[in-house]
Chains A and B, each alone.
Chain A
């Protein structure tokens, strides 16, 4: 967290959108927040975790998004102000709780944040969660800047209490991960302790007739919200002429700059509340125009709804956007794309000849070899992958969500499938049932707790035969090292009971369970070989802490990280190290392999990979396996 988040009211500080969201909740008097980490939402939690210690409210990293939502809902039903937040796909996990929540309503202010990831920068899909708001009957606010993100979250708490409904604030990567100056407001007093007292006896009991009654109430609330909040959350910005633009979220910023770059002074309708849509404001905006360009990321959500509104209010207005291919449905928008659309619509030339720039850049781009993310130097997953590849050989590999998903890449090729949290174990159930193929599922420790357990229970109960390797690096690593139920500290730094994965697995009825240090290649390989022979579901836990944690601890302790080196006289340039272990510290000079000292963490795990013993420590290099560092 940047220290800036807790600066005094009135100060203007540089905040990441996610920090601004956290600050907005803190200013609103947040009592309880819960989440499961997921990019691009994680820093909301990192910020709250640190602030919670200082200010005394509660924040926890929950087992998964559904549980996180239920923690927040329970607190809000007890009259406290609560928030849960998650990445877009996290809403899929939480959806079961959230759908019925809008029937139940809330007493304490309850804000749900969905951080969507157009372009799938760090996600398995580009799903557009605005559809959820409609399906759930959840009022939705969309900020365009970090400042708005803070202000809207703050406002959403009050509105949630006014309408006794949770409010959704939808962010996207370019809001959540944008840093900008934010003016801070006063921090309201918290409520502290709540009391669970339903406003009516059947308020939280959703069955049959009661659910239908609550459904009707929800629809009434939504029409009230549409009427009463339209003027606050639908803003027309300047301009004149027959062409207008309707936009929302970060797309609004691209529209402003694209219009300015083209010297266009067009009226812009900025929609901050995108469910329920303020139909009357939209109709009024349309009536003065001949053509309207809809600028939004991902699905034509606004476009289709504006069309429906126009049919009743301004049937002659031409609605332009994705339907004409003016803007893409895949990936993010940017200024250039909006300039392109405006140029086509107005006939005005683009102020910059993008084609010429691209043409000129070709020789440079041709040289720019790709650099996809790879596992870090010293990463235990690389060692696990190496051992599994050697021991299990050809099999169906069901990978999961985490850094280890990168094992799908060469040279490991351990990822026929990477799909959704915990799905690898579920798919292993189906594939081992449907085929006679050897089946290996891989799952991380945090993902195991999140969604792996029910599928493992299913496997035990149905006598499935496959190997589950738990890649236990003692943390939720991919999102930046958040604790999970297997770690003895909470998000707020309290000492808490840690669940032992081995005991959990044995408790579920798995009979063949082994634990190894993946840096001990022989032991790891043997464990996999033995487990594969077992007639039933078997589990190998490969346990070694995330290398980034180890390196950070060593540095904190003042231990200098000394890399390993390759003896050029012993190196035969067989490239076995690169071709089977692929640590990013290896450098291929064309004659020998070297180790880049700026990349190597000095773990020494690659020593055993070299058939010629050419990799050796330097003076002061550590031996992580031998010295039991990181296990």
Chain B
């Protein structure tokens, strides 16, 4: 609940298969290594199959509930723009939003001839919620430049790090990524992280 810095609440949202569980593990690893308590909830099984998925991470001494209460969100990381919209009722002026602009339309929406929103519209309605900060970047494009689109999630982690809102020491998130990334893809992930960070810092 508290917005006094005693707890920090994060939602990572995206489409199943985008590496959301991995990103969450990096953040909780950073929390643990910074000596902070955390609770993180995730969804497994069929829901992961290209459907909407999210994890909720809560960091702070007294957090016990695995689920975040609306109005107490500090950071929303969206790996896909439509997925950012679903958590609008959690967003207040304490919320920072980092959003990947690469839109993945639900195939079911085509079949049912539903209108798929434009990224511009999405940014407008999110802006209207008056978040503390809203940063949108094409993380897929950055990841491609880094070497492979599979590290899109690490680009976003870098972008998050650049905001400087996480309750960790300087460099803790990057060190956590070093620990959690598979060795074979370590360099690629770190490059993606740094490029994502740079993308925000240069703004």
Contact = CB atoms under 8 A, between A and B. Distances in A.
B49 interface: yes
Interface in A380-435: 403, 405-406, 409-411
Contacts of A489: none
Contacts of B85: 364-365, 367-368
Nearest to B37: A181
Contacts of B82: 367-369, 371
A499 to B, nearest CB: 25
B203 interface: no
Nearest to B40: A179
B17 A376 contact: yes
A368 B121 CA distance: 11
B47 A122 contact: yes
Nearest to A177: B42
Contacts of B17: 376
A42 interface: yes
Give the interface size bracket for A toward B. Answer: 35 or more
A295 B149 CA distance: 45
A579 B128 CA distance: 36
A468 B124 CA distance: 51
Contacts of B72: 352
A266 interface: no
Contacts, number: 220
A584 B50 contact: yes
Interface stretch (B59-67, B158-166, B167-175, B188-196): B59-67
Contacts of A618: none
Given A42-B44, A373-B16, A598 B104 contact: yes
A230 to B, nearest CB: 24
Contact of A179 (B42, B50, B121): B42
Given A178-B41, A371-B52, A360 B129 contact: yes
A2 B40 CA distance: 15
Contacts of A478: 45-46, 49
B29 interface: yes
A370 B106 contact: yes
B83 interface: yes
Interface string B125-163: 110110000000000100000000100100000000000
Contact of B70 (A254, A357, A372): A357
B129 to A, nearest CB: 6
A23 B113 CA distance: 49
Contacts of A445: none
A369 B117 contact: yes
Interface stretch (A193-201, A334-342, A449-457): A334-342
Contacts of B50: 371, 373-376, 584
A357 B88 CA distance: 8
Nearest to A587: B105
Given A180-B38, A369-B114, A352 B71 contact: yes
Contact of B107 (A351, A357, A584): A584
A358 to B, nearest CB: 5
A174 interface: yes
Interface string B181-203: 00000000000000000000000
Interface residues of B, number: 68
Q: Counting chain A CB atoms within 10 Å of each CB, which of B41, B111, B117 scores highest? A: B41
A446 to B, nearest CB: 14
Given A357-B70, A357-B71, A598 B102 contact: yes
B51 A373 contact: yes
Contact of A121 (B45, B106, B115): B45
A369 B106 contact: yes
Interface string A309-353: 000000000000000000000001011100100000000000111
Given A42-B45, A587-B105, A253 B65 contact: yes
Contacts of B15: 371
A550 interface: no
B91 interface: yes
Given A361-B91, A583-B107, A374 B65 contact: no
Contacts of B125: 363-364, 367
Contact of A373 (B40, B49, B121): B49
A496 interface: no
Given A354-B70, A363-B125, A579-B111, A371 B83 contact: yes
A325 to B, nearest CB: 21
B149 A354 contact: no
Contacts of A369: 82, 105-106, 109, 114-117
B108 A122 contact: no
A486 B16 CA distance: 28
Given A122-B45, A179-B40, A336-B70, A582 B89 contact: no
A521 interface: no
B42 A578 contact: no
Contacts of A121: 43, 45, 47
A14 interface: yes
A120 B64 CA distance: 22
Interface in B9-58: 15-17, 24-25, 28-29, 32, 37-52
Contacts of B46: 39, 122, 373, 403, 405-406, 478
16 contacts: A181-B32, A253-B66, A256-B65, A257-B69, A364-B85, A367-B117, A368-B82, A369-B82, A369-B105, A373-B51, A479-B45, A584-B107, A588-B105, A588-B110, A596-B104, A598-B149
Give the 6 A-B residue pairs with the shortest CB-CB distance, closest first: A39-B45, A373-B51, A122-B45, A364-B88, A361-B88, A368-B85
Given A39-B45, A122-B43, A174-B66, 7 more contacts: A253-B65, A354-B70, A354-B89, A357-B70, A361-B91, A584-B106, A588-B110
Interface of A: 2, 12-14, 16, 39-40, 42-43, 121-122, 144-145, 173-174, 177-181, 250, 253-254, 256-257, 260-261, 332, 334-336, 339, 351-354, 357-358, 360-361, 363-365, 367-376, 403, 405-406, 409-411, 478-480, 575, 578-579, 582-584, 586-588, 596-599
